[in-house]
Amino acid sequence: MTSLAPGSPNPAGAPLTASAAESPQAAPAHHAGDDHGGHVDARLFGLATFLVADGMTFAGFFAAYLTFRSVNPLPAGSNYELELILPTINTALLVISSVTFHRAGSNLRSGNRSACRSWLLGTVVLGLAFLAGQMVEYFNLPFGLTDNLFASTFYALTGFHGLHVTLGVICILIVWWQARQGGRISQQEHFGLEAAELYWHFVDGIWVVLYGILYLL
Amino acid sequence: MTVASPTDFEPQGLQPQGWLKYFSFSLDHKVIGLQYLITGFIFYFIGGALAGVIRMELTSPISDFVSRETYNEVLTLHGTVMIFLWIVPVVNGAFGNYLIPFYVGARDMAFPRLNAVAFWLIPPAGILLIASYFIAGGAAQSGWTAYPPLSLTTPAIGQVIWILSVLLLGGSSIFGGINFIATILKLRRPGLKLMQLPMYCWAMLGTSILVVLSTPVLAGTLILLSFDIIAHTGFFNPALGGNVVVYQHLFWFYSHPAVYIMVLPAFGLVSEILPVHARKPLFGYTTMVYSILAIVVLGLIVWAHHMFTSGTPPWMRLFFTIATSFIAVPTGIKFFNWLATLWGGKLALNSAMLFSCGFIVNFVFGGITGVALAQVPFDIHVHDTYFVVGHFHYIVYGGTVFVIFASVYHWYPKFTGRLLNEDLGRLHFLLTFIGFNLCFTPQHWLGLNGMPRRVAEYDPSFTTLNQVSSVGALLMAISTLPFLINVIWSAYSGQIAGDNPWNALTPEWLTASPPPVENWLGEAPLVTHPYDYGVPEGKIDLRVVSGADLWLGGKR
Amino acid sequence: MSIPSTLITLLLGMGLVLVGLWVGQNVQLLPIDASSNAPVYDSLFQVLFSIGTILFLGIVGLVLFSLVRFRRRPGDLADGVAIEGNLPLEIVWTAIPAIVVLFVGIYSYDIYERMGGMVALNDHSAMHHSADVMQASAVPSAGISEGSDPASEPRVWAGIGSNGSNEGSMPVEVTAMQFAFIFHYPDGNITSGELHVPVNRPVELRMKANDVIHAFWVPQFRLKQDIIPGQPTVLAFTATRAGSYPIVCAELCGPYHGGMRSTVVVHEEEAFNQWFETNAPPKPAPATVASASINPTA
Ligand code: HEA
Ligand code: HEA
Ligand code: CUA
Ligand SMILES: [Cu+2]
């Protein structure tokens, strides 16, 4: 019933015996887990938690968009239809870029640094292509930011996502630079690459959802 | 006595020493914790002064003390400052940063640098917010809820600064939350199991989950709101085809969990304080843990109880009524466990204990009015009235602020190595308790009888009770004097506390007071039974013990 | 101890319940009831108040008793008993609040039903009548687009009591704006800054907001409804007690939010008809237009 089995309760008046705590001075040597220098690496875990938070921002946007769409009719003459070809190509680019990033990671882990860097560059090119495609789409859309509720939501969602892609591309470039011979990222030390990769997959996943509800729905 | 506390401990040059360290970019979780605490108190006095303006204006039924616009600015600033710059940073940031690394047996938080960044977002955000009062057009005037379309029509600069400031504070809160989750789950000393952690860790874990899941939604919403103001989009502007109820849903999806962000850590702190001063184990550790988790889950699905009079479908009202009411169950478990912790103990009637018991009394009152508010038909009458103002001040002030004071009395010896003066502390408690109840009890009646909230002028028949309420507020302001005197005076000439004046068992007491830079000189202690107080009674088999045994307490 | 402690506990508990019931029955905290759903509301209030009193007094009693009875005597350095949990006890105090809360929830649902709050939104069969009138009404539109398809009716949102079955109810159009309520009687083409209604006849308020959110609240009717721009809303009630009661705007709507008040006058049937006659056209509506409440003076 209680997880706190009454171990050896303290006798009255002497509450601070070693019964409650193993003698703190028993082992002067620093534990691997509690030393400033080399404590548990929680960085990827922290990044994952942050991505959950970031995902909630998108979730809020999605929820708002879906509610607008089901409750608020658009003014006469506007509709929810969008040109599909370019965004579909864009989706494919982004999905492929996730694969190329993955290849970069596995190449680094198996020690093939130059292949890793090439795959990274490939990913950057795909990311930039996506952004370019996005720009082309923006300039060819029949509506502007404040034309109607759908237009505003469309730009807010894709814009916020595009910001994430831009950030991702910058991160990949940094990783690419650091993965050069003698850089910070190596076969042994690949946190930076893994963090960027996790982030990139996240941005990719968000896009797939976004594509589904914004373009296909 | 096995705790290492050499007096000749040399600072390692890692940290600036003396007063300077509180004003610098320190990475030490204890320094950051105290930075949060002191910053929080500064903003508490600002928020309190703003409350003073509110109560001053309301001593007469006409708008005479400040202009109507100013009144709305003042109440918006009061709500925002108190929530985002006082309660949230203090119960999370201050005590969380100070205590959590001790409790998990770590030398610092998981991400010390992120931690410092999170703190240093707060002063600029606060200064920005306060400064907006002095610019042309003034501060935001649409309440801390900033409902559009009102927030789209009031002076834009103030509203945009408000948004910016809340975004910064929200960011700070998210960074803090990530840090706490990582520290509690990943940095535990080897051998320390989750179910052996002090209760405050669980409370902070639950709180941080809420922060991570709900704060980003507020951020997104406020970004959309700022688009509406700056770029004239129409998300929340009905004149442009937008929908204001969507804003309300998104806002409360954050701001209801926010109330648990403000109170769960307080629950955790009380769970640390009561066993020490009652000299008994914390009653029902396991159910306490599960009720925290239940509150987290329920807290995420009850937001629309703030919108019962907006356009929501009936099924939604029904669902949210039931879900909200059910929060009383896990919360009740915690309260009954605390009562059982007191029962049969040896209660030291010091300030920490008195403030904790004051918290129990006030919070139960506020909780009961909360459950009443959760009933749609009841809420229809009292929504947006002083009844609601009474409800939440009973909880945020009577609950959380009382706990903050209790915690200061409890941990001051740890922070400074000196005790606070108990006579001044009890005086502080007495004045606060009386002033608080005088201030906020009459507001329930006012709300029931027709006084809406957020008004600078009201029906003259409510004058007397409003004046009573203002006198209560004055008493609360006065009550901070003995506290301030006590805290400042004791820092220099308070009685020396020793390392562990309360004979407490949680890990922060098993080191020097104030603690060395990396918390322990040797290895961190492994505390598997943080509440192991009490006389062994051996004879009672806990599985067959009945209520009567408990009732008889220590007398058997 | 001669009397078993369980018995004392039981007696105390019963006493507490009695006190709670007495308080719920006899302490009157609400304003006078002047609409048909006010008494229903008040019975819910009584139940909540009784339960609240019992819980609050019980818990405060326990805290005070513990503080006195278990206080540490000077010189006593012993600890309390090391009891860390008790399963039956914990089950009891989980179950009781759960049952209480469930009961309260179901009961308040029943009350809400009786107050007429459970009408489905946009239920066209029920709302048709109202929607037609809304569309035809001359109330200044909030300037929102009512949908691309002219055939689609504007959505109408329901507040309390608007279940459409109020046959023979008197419609009144309410326009809320910064900072006044304007009442328009489509039947008599009367426009007024005060709401005049007959006693014991259902009234249907069709509400619109022009600028920001306002809320229509009459404390004596126990009725409140937000009026949200872009969301025409219907609220129905039946006044039961002649007299005048305040109408209060309960949603922050700008600097003069506190001054956005008006009055609802509940007349006896004849007096109401007389008021209606004197104010109805053909002689154009006199200066009852809400000039008085548009700019409340300080
Ligand atoms: C720390 C802050 C905090 C906390 C913890 C709570 C806790 C609760 N609140 Fe409150 N609330 C606010 C802060 C808080 N609130 C604020 C700031 C507002 C106004 C916002 C604004 O509009 O500006 C508000 C408004 C608010 C409303 C909207 C009112 C309105 O605007 O019309 C409602 C409605 O349901 C509500 C309900 C509740 C409930 C049911 C709880 C429950 O969690 C309480 C549970 C606790 C108990 C019940 C007591 C202990 C339990 C027992 C002893 C067991 C037995 C009890 C029973 C069987 C009943 N609150
Ligand atoms: C979260 C925490 C919190 C806290 C601690 C408080 C504390 C207090 N609050 Fe408030 N309050 C809110 C959160 C809080 N409040 C919120 C969220 C709102 C809603 C805002 C909105 O509607 O948007 C609100 C609204 C609100 C109102 C309603 C305004 C209205 O609707 O028109 C009132 C009115 O009485 C009020 C009063 C007080 C008082 C008297 C205190 C007192 O407890 C304060 C006591 C403290 C002191 C008095 C400090 C002492 C300081 C000094 C002594 C220094 C003074 C210096 C000078 C005078 C120069 N608060
Ligand atoms: Cu209209 Cu407040
Ligand atoms: Cu809430």
What does the alpha-carbon distance between residue C93 and residue C75 come to, in Å, rounded to a whole number?
A: 35
Whether C49 is covered by a domain: the verdict is yes
Closest CA to B362 of B310, B435, B454, B289: B435
What's the DSSP call for residue C231? B
Q: Are C139 and C257 in the same domain?
A: yes
Tell me the chain A residues in contact with residue C228 when contact means C-beta distances shorter than 8 Å. Answer: none
Give residue-wise pLDDT tens across range B113-149. 999 999 999 999 999 999 999 987 888 999 999 998 9
**C168 lies in the same domain as C105:** no
- For ligand 2, atom 3, name the residue with the nearest CA: B82
* Distances, alpha carbon C195 to alpha carbons A2, C205, C272, C283, in Å: 63, 10, 11, 20
State which H helix or E strand residue A12 sits in: none
Residues C141 and C267 in one domain: yes
CB atoms within 5 A of ion ligand 4 belong to B 256
What digits encode the pLDDT tens for the residues B291-324?
A: 999 999 999 999 999 999 887 787 888 889 999 9
Residues C219 and C274 placed together within one structural domain of the fold: yes
Question: Does residue C231 form part of some domain?
Answer: yes
Quickly state the pLDDT bin for C133 (edges 50, 70, 90).
very low
Our answer on whether the CB atom of C251 is closer than 6 Å to any ligand 3 atom is yes
Domain annotation for chain A: domains and CATH numbers: 43-72+84-216 (1.20.120.80)
C267 located within any domain = yes
Q: Choosing among C148, C149, C152, which should be mutated to test the A contact, i.e. which has the most A CBs within 10 A? A: C148
Asked if residue C39 has a cis previous peptide bond (ω within 30° of 0), the answer is: no
**Tokens 């941990």 sit at which residue?**
B411
In this prediction, residue C135 has a pLDDT band, given cuts at 50, 70 and 90, of very low
Averaged over successive runs of 10 residues, the pLDDT of chain A (217 residues) comes to: 34 35 37 45 91 95 91 78 88 93 90 89 94 92 84 92 95 91 82 92 94 89
Strand pairing partners for C224? C217
Phi-psi region of A4 (alpha: psi -120 to 50; beta: other; left: phi over 0): beta
| Whole-number average pLDDT of chain C | 79
* Residue B406 identity: A
The amino acid at residue A137 is E
The most confident of A141-145, B532-536, C71-75, C198-202, by mean pLDDT: C198-202
Residue C173 sits in the same domain as residue C59: no
Q: Give me the mean pLDDT over the B362-379 stretch.
A: 94
Of A13, A71, A73, the CB nearest to C77: A13
Q: Indicate the residue of B232, B518, B534 with minimum beta-carbon distance to A9.
A: B534
The three-class DSSP label of residue C233 is strand
Question: Which among B238, B339, B364 is the nearest to C229, CB-wise?
Answer: B238
State which of B57, B397, B428 you would mutate to test the pocket of ligand 2, scoring each by most atoms of that ligand within 8 A of its C-beta. B397
Task: State the DSSP code for B531.
Answer: T
Using DSSP bridges, classify how beta strands C233-238 and C157-158 pair: parallel, antiparallel or unpaired: parallel
Largest CA distance in chain B: 74
The domain in which residue C111 lies consists of 10-66+96-115
Q: Please list the helix, strand and coil fractions of chain C in percent, rounded to the nearest 5, in that order.
A: 40, 20, 40
- C170-177 β-sheet, strand order: C157-158, C233-238, C202-209, C170-177, C180-185, C190-192
Residue B362: pLDDT above 60?
yes
Q: What is the pLDDT of residue A154?
A: 92
Q: What is the pLDDT, as a whole number, of residue C8?
A: 83
Please indicate whether residue B388, judged by its CB atom, sits closer than 6 Å to ligand 1. Answer: yes
pLDDT at B479 over 50: yes
Whether C3 is covered by a domain: the verdict is no
CA angle at residue B337 from B332 to B342, to 5 degrees? 130
Q: Which residues contact B60 (CB under 8 A, 6 or more apart)?
A: B463
Same domain (yes/no): C143, C264 = yes
Whether residue C287 is contained in a domain is answered as: no
Count CB-CB contacts under 10 A for residue B311: 24
Q: b vs e for C136-163, b when ≥16 Cβ sit within 10 Å of the residue's Cβ?
A: ebebeebebbbbeeeeebbbbbbbbbbb
List the beta bridge partners of residue C262.
C247
pLDDT tens per residue, range B420-457: 999 999 999 999 999 999 999 999 999 999 999 999 99
Select from C79, C86, C147 the Cβ nearest to the Cβ of A73: C147
Tell how far the Cα of B83 is from the centroid of ligand 2, in angstroms: 10
Residues 6+ apart with CB under 8 A from C233: B311, C156, C157, C158, C159, C206, C207, C208, C225, C226, C227
Q: Which of A210, A8, A213 is nearest to A91 (CA)?
A: A210
Confidence class of residue C285 from pLDDT cuts 50, 70 and 90? very low
Dist. CA B243 → ligand 1 center (Å): 27
Checking if the pLDDT of C140 tops 70, the result is no
Query: Residues A58, A64, A65, A71: what is their CA dihedral angle, to the nearest 10 degrees?
Result: 170
For residues C111 and C179, membership in a common domain is answered with no
Question: Mind telling me how many Å the CA of C285 is from chain B's nearest CA?
Answer: 29
pLDDT at position C2: 57
Range B83-87 average pLDDT: 95
Strands C261-267 and C243-249 come out as antiparallel
Cα of C170 from ligand 1 centre, angstroms = 38
Identity of residue B246? V
Mean pLDDT of B177-197: 92
The number of angstroms, rounded, from the C-alpha of B113 to the middle of its chain's C-alpha atoms is: 24
Same domain, C258 and C147: yes
Query: Is the residue at C289 inside a domain?
Result: no
Name the percent of chain B in helix, strand, coil, to the closest 5.
Answer: 70, 0, 30
The CA-based angle B144-B150-B156, given to 5 degrees, is 85
What is the Cα–Cα distance from B389 to B387, expressed in whole angstroms? 5
Q: What is the pLDDT of residues C27-83, one digit of tens each?
A: 888 999 999 889 999 999 999 999 999 999 999 999 999 999 888 888 777 777 777
- What single DSSP character describes residue C202? E
Residue written as token pair 């300039």: A139
Residue C177 domain flag:
yes
* d(C-alpha B9, C-alpha B516), whole Å: 8
pLDDT of residue C126: 38
**Beta carbons of A120 and A172 less than 8 angstroms apart:** yes
Checking if the pLDDT of C97 tops 80, the result is yes
Query: Could you tell me if residue C292 is inside a domain?
Result: no
Would you say residue C298 has pLDDT above 60? no
pLDDT of residue B122: 95
Quick: pLDDT tens for A55-113: 999 999 999 999 988 888 787 777 788 888 899 999 999 999 999 999 999 988 888 88
Residues of B with CB below 8 A from A22's CB?
525-526
Q: Are C85 and B284 in contact (CB under 8 A)?
A: yes
Q: C135 with C62, same domain?
A: no
Closest CA of chain C from B27, distance in Å = 38
Residue C77, CA distances (Å) to A11, A13, B346, B503, C71 in order: 11, 6, 9, 11, 12
Q: Which amino acid belongs to residue A127?
A: G
Domains held by chain C: number: 2
Q: What angle do CA B401, B382, C117 make, to 5 degrees?
A: 135
Same domain, yes or no, for C109 and C153? no
**Count of CB atoms within 10 A of residue B133's CB?**
17
- Touching chains, A (3+ CB pairs < 8 A): B, C
Q: Is the pLDDT of residue B76 over 90?
A: yes
> What tokens were used for A74?
């658009």
Report the sign of the C-alpha dihedral through residues B131, B137, B142, B146, in that order.
negative
C225 three-class SS: strand
Residues C107 and C161 in one domain: no
Query: At residue C292, does pLDDT exceed 80?
Result: no
What would the pLDDT profile of C143-187 be if each residue is shown by its tens digit? 333 333 433 455 677 777 655 555 678 889 999 998 899 999 988
Amino acid symbol at B178: I
CATH code where residue C198 lies: 2.60.40.420
Nearest-CA distance C61 → chain B (Å) = 10
> Last residue of some domain: C49, C84, C115?
C115
Least confident of A43-52, B227-236, C111-120, C147-156: C147-156
Q: Please give the pLDDT value at position B536.
A: 65
So what's the pLDDT on residue C165?
A: 54
C170: β partners:
C203
3-state class (DSSP) for residue B291: helix
Ramachandran region, residue C205 (left: φ > 0; alpha: ψ -120 to 50; beta: rest): beta
Pairing between β-strand C202-209 and β-strand C223-227 as defined by DSSP bridges? unpaired
| pLDDT over 80 (residue B66) | yes
Q: Is the separation of the CB atoms in C280 and C190 below 8 Å? A: yes
d(CA B421, CA B427) in angstroms, rounded, equals 10
C173 and C42 inside one domain:
no
Question: C28: burial class by Cβ within 10 Å (0-12, 13-18, 19+)?
Answer: exposed
Ranking A14-18, B55-59, B320-324, B461-465 by mean pLDDT, the lowest is: A14-18
CB-based contacts of B298, cutoff 8 Å, min separation 6:
B323, B326, B327, B330
| Ligand 1 contact, B264 CB (< 6 A) | no
